[in-house]
């Protein structure tokens, strides 16, 4: 779509909305940003808009938002929000910020989605591609919004792009050269009418525009992912830690093997992958496949795997105090992430759970919690739900904030124990985002 002189309404004044607005203005459009949030919450973002001479409104979406040729929606806005439904009823073209940014990107996109592991895999993909000698940006739901860097990417460069289901709900022509779906487990069901099928099919949209010239990387071991796979034209590679695959990555005892057309082209030892855990072996497999699609050299791939240390807020070691390890896993915004976290430690765990609940079924972690957790500290708007479920199974207390939690944990945990922030919930009831939550936790611990 030619956007010069077009009126573009952008819903959401967070990072992605700001990026889209500045991109629209740069290419001659007339952007208007609308956000239902408060001035206090959006203070710094509104200052950016003022300095960029971009018009905006806050507190509500007024009639003005529909006086446009195109509506661009930030990922934090539900696709069934009233403002979107009204725009669609008025026959206004509505797209996600992901779709909009992709119009300006000349480079090669590796699009990565899935319920868990997106951030680690996106980071590893960017790191490994750069180590293999190709300039690669890391963007999307991690760090920079796609619209902040889209038009900077040259034809011979790459973007490793973390993509949520919300962004995929409103794509039109978006078509990554390589698409990955890492796994699908129940999550965000509050935004999908409690339908696992709707959520799963939303993820599958990442390859809906792919042709025979594009590539799809899928996890053979993810039951829900395999249940909802749609017909597609792209060349498919699989990965599995449980079975051998003809095209893709698989685990041969302690070796990770990549095969193409049944021929082994790459292998490395599991111990060559610095980030630990079976889930991270799978994440690495997805990236190895992407690297081999572009025929990167084996020795450079292995060197990158040996030196990638993981990402912030994902099972991140913060500090050891009197023998007590404090771990920041703020990125764990759903139950399955907590399962991964609990399985990662043999030591007794003091677990910090809670935040904005997204329809969690705590019965799925009950057995692990009883086996591994000494005590639960319940925080946020879901604290009462967590307390009611767990208090007669394991010692559970409601705490007002993270400062209270850390103080309690220090007095109750002993040397050799782990204090684990792995909330299973979104952060928006108490914090700006999961990064903010993790940062606050680390600041409290590091002050001690």
Domain count, the chain: 3
Tell me which residue has tokens 């292998």.
267
Cα 268 from Cα 348, distance rounded (Å): 33
Does 120 belong to an annotated binding site?
yes
Q: Is 236 marked as a binding-site residue?
A: no
Residue 142 DSSP label: S
Write the CATH number for 174.
3.40.1190.10
> From CA 248, how far away is CA 135, in angstroms rounded?
24
The domain boundary residue, chosen from 260, 283, 307: 307
Sequence-separated (6 or more) residues with CB below 8 Å from residue 12: 33, 35, 73, 74, 75, 76, 77, 97
Question: What pLDDT is recorded for position 39?
Answer: 85
Query: Is 119 flagged in the annotation as binding?
Result: yes
Residues 6 or more apart in contact with residue 371 via CB below 8 angstroms: none
Claim to verify: residue 39 and residue 87 sit in the same structural domain: yes
Residues 343 and 255 in one domain: no
Give residue 359's domain range: 316-447
In a domain, 37, yes or no: yes
**At 163, is the secondary structure helix, strand, or coil?**
coil
Please tell me what DSSP assigns to residue 277.
S
- What CATH number should be reported for the domain holding residue 11? 3.40.50.720
CA–CA gap between residue 242 and residue 132 (Å, rounded): 28
Residue 84 in any domain: the answer is yes
CB atoms closer than 10 angstroms to residue 429: 15
Helix (H) or strand (E) holding 89: helix 82-89
Below-70 pLDDT ranges, the chain: 187-194
For residue 55, give the 3-state DSSP assignment.
strand
How far is the first Cα of the chain from the last one, in angstroms, to the nearest whole number? 55
At 116 the pLDDT is 86
63 and 128 in one domain? no
DSSP 66: G
CA atoms within 13 A on the CB side of 346: 1
Q: Is 310 known to sit in a ligand binding site?
A: no
Q: Are residues 303 and 166 in the same domain?
A: yes
Do 436 and 338 belong together in one domain?
yes
The reply to whether 80 and 136 lie within a common domain is: no
> Is 23 part of a structural domain of the chain?
yes
Q: Does 52 lie in the same domain as 133?
A: no
Same domain, 154 and 90: no
Q: What is the pLDDT of residue 276?
A: 76
Q: Has residue 1 been placed in a domain? A: no
Query: Got the DSSP string for 361-378?
Result: -THHHHHHHHHHEEEEEE
* Same structural domain, 280 and 401: no
Looking up tokens 């070796």, which residue turns up? Answer: 255
Q: Would the annotation count 115 as a binding residue? A: yes
- Tokens found for residue 114: 């899935």
Q: Which of 307, 326, 347 is the last residue of a domain?
A: 307
296 and 436 part of one domain: no
275 with 212, same domain: the answer is yes
Q: CB under 8 Å to 100, separation ≥6 — which residues?
A: 20, 23, 24, 72, 147
* Residue 279 and residue 410 in one domain: no
Q: Give the H/E segment covering residue 280.
A: helix 278-293
- How far apart, in whole angstroms, are the C-alpha atoms of residue 156 and residue 373? 49
Q: What is the pLDDT of residue 317?
A: 83
The domain boundary residue, chosen from 35, 69, 97: 97
pLDDT for 190: 61
pLDDT of residue 427: 94
Tell me, yes or no, whether 427 lies in a domain: yes
Distance CA 389, CA 394 (A): 10
> What's the CATH number where 385 sits?
3.90.190.20
């Amino acid at each position: 779509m030619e956007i010069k002189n077009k009126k573009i309404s952008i819903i959401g004044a967070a990072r992605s909305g700001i990026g889209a607005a500045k991109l629209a203005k740069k290419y001659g459009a007339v952007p208007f940003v609308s956000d239902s949030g408060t001035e206090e919450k959006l203070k710094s973002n509104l200052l950016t808009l003022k300095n960029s001479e971009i018009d905006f409104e806050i507190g509500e979406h007024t009639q003005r938002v529909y006086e446009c040729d195109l509506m661009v929606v930030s990922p934090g806005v539900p696709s069934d929000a009233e403002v979107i439904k009204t725009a669609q009823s008025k026959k206004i073209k509505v797209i996600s910020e992901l779709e909009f940014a992709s119009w300006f990107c000349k480079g090669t996109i590796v699009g990565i989605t899935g319920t868990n592991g997106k951030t680690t895999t996106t980071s590893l993909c960017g790191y490994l591609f750069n180590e293999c000698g190709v300039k690669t940006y890391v963007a999307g739901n991690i760090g920079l919004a796609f619209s902040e860097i889209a038009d900077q990417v040259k034809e011979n460069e790459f973007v490793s792009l973390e993509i949520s289901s919300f962004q995929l709900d409103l794509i039109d022509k978006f078509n990554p050269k390589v698409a990955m779906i890492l796994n699908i487990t129940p999550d965000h069901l509050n935004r999908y009418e409690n339908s696992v099928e709707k959520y799963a099919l939303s993820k599958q949209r990442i390859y809906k525009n792919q042709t025979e010239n594009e590539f799809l990387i899928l996890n053979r071991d993810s039951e829900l992912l395999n249940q909802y796979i749609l017909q597609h034209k792209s060349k498919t590679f699989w990965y599995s830690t449980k079975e051998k695959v003809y095209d893709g990555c698989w685990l041969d005892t302690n070796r990770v093997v990549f095969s193409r057309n049944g021929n082994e082209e790459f292998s490395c030892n599991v111990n060559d992958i610095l980030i630990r855990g079976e889930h991270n072996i799978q994440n690495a497999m997805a990236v190895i496949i992407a690297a081999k699609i572009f025929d990167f050299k084996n020795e450079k791939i292995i060197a990158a795997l040996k030196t990638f240390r993981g990402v912030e807020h994902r099972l991140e070691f913060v500090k050891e105090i009197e023998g007590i390890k404090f771990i920041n896993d703020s990125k764990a915004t759903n139950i399955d992430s907590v399962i991964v976290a609990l399985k990662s430690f043999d030591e007794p765990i003091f677990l910090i759970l809670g935040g904005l609940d997204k329809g969690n079924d705590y019965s799925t972690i009950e057995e692990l919690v009883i086996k591994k957790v000494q005590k639960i500290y319940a925080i946020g708007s879901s604290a009462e739900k967590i307390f009611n479920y767990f208090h007669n199974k394991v010692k559970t207390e409601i705490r007002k904030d993270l400062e209270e939690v850390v103080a309690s944990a220090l007095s109750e945990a002993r040397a050799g124990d782990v204090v684990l922030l792995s909330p299973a919930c979104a952060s928006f009831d108490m914090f700006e985002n999961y990064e903010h939550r993790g940062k606050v936790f680390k600041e409290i611990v590091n002050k001690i």
